[in-house]
Structures are given as structure tokens and as C-alpha cells.
Structure 1
Amino acid sequence: MIEIDLFKSMRYALGLTAMVMAILFIFCYPTNIFILAASSYLFLICASDTLYSKIPNIFTLALIVIGLSTNIAISGLPGIMVSITGFTIGLSLLLIPFLMGGMGAGDVKALTALGTLLGPDITFQLFLYMGIIGGLLGLLFHLTNPGSRVQLRHYISSLKNAYLTRDFKSFSRPVNRSSNRFPYATAIAFGFFAQTFWGSLW
């Protein structure tokens, strides 16, 4: 019970931290429409992902519309290409992890929406930051998640049994427990804040 509470406490603490940082960025960059829109979106999806383990499509669709409209308003017709390219980059970068089962559809759509707003260059840098931060947070979450230990023991036992019996068809992966899912919206948010504050990784 203590371990489960630790996992949930960490989940809520990180989600709340991301939401507070989103508010700070909104107040620190009130004239930057890109940071303002992205921070507002990240506040909403972090709240939803932390509490309900889902990212509503209505938030994502709204940001796509805002991103496209903003780029057109600022750059004219070339802004359409900026948004389309950013959309494509955001989608393609997380498509393989999604197809492999390591990423939720909402997370993919979130980066896609941010790509529509931010364009391809910033989206790629955001992807790099969120990959690093997401890896660290994911490890932290798994170390505090009692279900991960059960899954790891199942994985090792199943692999050992398959090796000893030479019946590799009997090997089965651990069942993914969605109730203890790592809320990746926080990694996306921290990645965006890091990219905005520190700039490109190279």
C-alpha cells in the first residue's frame, strides 16, 4: 500500500509541477503567442493525463487550429507549410514508438499538435528533450511502481521457462497495467519548458 501511494504521489506531484510551470511560462511570456498557446495546452493536457490518464482530442484539435491560424497570420501562406511540416515531424517522430506499444495515441497527437504550432525545428528539439526527460521520469516511475516488479518477475520467469523447454511460443510479455501508466504529458511539458529556457541541444 505504501508503494502504491508513493507511485500515485509522484504522479500527482509531477503533474502539479508541470501545471505550475505552465502557468509561470504564461505569465513570463505574455506577448509570445507561441509560448502562450503551447503552455496553455500543456497545462490542460497535464491536468487531464495526471487525473484521468487521457488527453482529450478537443484540446489537441484546438491547438492544431490555433497553430495553423497563428503561423498563417504571422508568415502568410508560407506559414501553412511551417505548420504542415511541423505536424508531419511531430507525427513521424512518435509513430514508431506508438506502433510498438510504448506510447499512447494521445501523446503522439500532442506532439503533432505542438508541431503544428511550433514548426519542424523546435518540434525536433522538443522531441530530443522530452526523450531524455521521459526516459528519466519513466525509470523513476517504474522503480516506484509495485506492478513493475510483478511484471519484471513474470518476464524473467517466462523467458527462463521458454529457454529451458525450448518452447519459445510459450513466452509471453507482461500485461500492461493502464491504471499505473506513466503520464507522458508531463515529459512533453518539461521537454517544452527545457527547450524554451535552454534552447537547442545542438
Structure 2
Amino acid sequence: MFGIIIVFPNKDNAVQIQNMLMHQGLPVKEVCTTGAQALKAAETLDEGIVICGYKYNDMVYTELREYLSEAMEMVLIASADRWSSGHASGVLGLSMPFRAYDLVNTVNMLTVSMQKKRKKKRFVKKEREPKEQALIDQAKNLLMSRNNMTEEQAHKYLQKTSMDNQTTLIETAQMVLSIMSE
């Protein structure tokens, strides 16, 4: 689940930012005044964005960033003199005073970036167990020798049969081996 957490020691400031974002249709999960509250709220999210000020009653933004998961992005809203000392990695900054337009664009940019990362993660090729890969290779070799197929054709045959039968590639390889070995 995705959401936005806003953390400022002054609740009125946090509520103003919440209103700006919600007016644009962005999902604000929670408004917090301490880092501990923000961490608790972040535990309920798979990913999200923390929009925060420089310092809260119980910690500063660098500590909060350290305790947040990598799936959480952070936008620090602070005056220019706070930036002169640098900022923690994984933190995007927005100088005070800021325009609502800049904040909304920053949040939208981060949201798109997170969606791209999520998609990219889904398409990362998973390594098979050696036993499973050996089973698939054995089925392909049997198809190649008995049906005069190339390695590519045998693999495509296993994939298509797997999809048609709504089985995994491993189950299909096992079926091919049991049927053709008889």
C-alpha cells in the first residue's frame, strides 16, 4: 500500500501541506508531529513518501531517514541555511519558502519514479534452483532428440504447453519426461 506521511513539529503546518496535497488528489496517510509517530505510520505502508521538516521533538530528519525502510522516499522542506550543511542520501529537498506547485510536482515525480522501480522489480529474471533447471534441460534434450527440435523450439514448446495447461514450466517438464519416457 502506498501513502504519504507528513511530519512537522507544528501540526498546523503539517495540516496545511496535507490540504495542498489532498486538494490535488494525493493520498495522505497520516499527519505526525514526532519522528516516532512517522515511523509507526510508515510500518503500515509497503512504500510511500515522507514529507518532513528539519527537526521534531524527538529526532532530526537524518535519524528518521535512517530508520525508514528503503521503500520510503523522503522530501525535506527546510530553509536554505539548513541545506548548506548538506543532507542525508535518499532525501530530496525543497527550499522554504516553497510554492504548492513545486511540492505537488516533486511528489508526483517521486510517485512515478517509485512506480517505475516497482515495475522493474517485477521483471527481474529469477534464478531457478539447480534441480529445477536440470529438469527443464532434461525435458528440452528429450524433445530435441526425439522430435528433431532446436533448443529454442523445445523451450518455446515447454513454455506454450505450460501456458495452455496453466501449469508451471517445471510441472510441464515433468509431464513431458513422464509421457515420453514410457
* Structure with the larger strand share: 2
TM-score of the pair, normalised by structure 1: 0.29
TM-score of the pair, normalised by structure 2: 0.31
- Choose 1 or 2 for highest CA Rg: 2
* Structure with the larger helix share: 1
Q: Which has the higher contact order (CA 8 A, sep 6+)?
A: 1
